[in-house]
Amino acid sequence: MEKNMAKWADYIITAVGYDRNGIRILEVEIRPDTGTNIGQASRATRQQVVNAIERGVTFATAFHRDGKWHRGQGVHVVLARGAKYLRTDRNSVEADNLGSLPRLARVAS
């Protein structure tokens, strides 16, 4: 899928699956960002994304509209009360938050 923009991150998160309470991410849809294209979707657990970010891999959110990808925000690991959360802001809130990305149809529990 074409992007026609500079590289935003190593991987783009394009959908998210939360737990029943909507607080903790269970799984995300990720796509590699080559700098000119956004690749095919695969899924990763929240822990895989946390581990990757801690190793220096970069992630950003993006959404598809009008036939084009639009960059969202960078994704960060935030520590709050000893727990790690995935957030697009750096607030120490005890919840994952990747904005208003589409929800995954079904997620692993």
β-pair partners for 65:
68
- DSSP string over 28-80: EEEEEB-SSBB---EEEEHHHHHHHHHTT--EEEEEEETTEEEEEEE-EEEEE
pLDDT digits (tens, 9 = 90+) for 67-101: 889 999 999 999 988 899 999 998 888 888 898 89
pTM: 0.89
And the tokens for 89? 């802001």
Average pLDDT, integer, range 40-58? 97
Contact present, 81 and 93 (Cβ < 8 Å):
no
β-pair partners for 74:
60
pLDDT digits (tens, 9 = 90+) for 20-47: 888 889 999 999 999 888 999 999 999 9
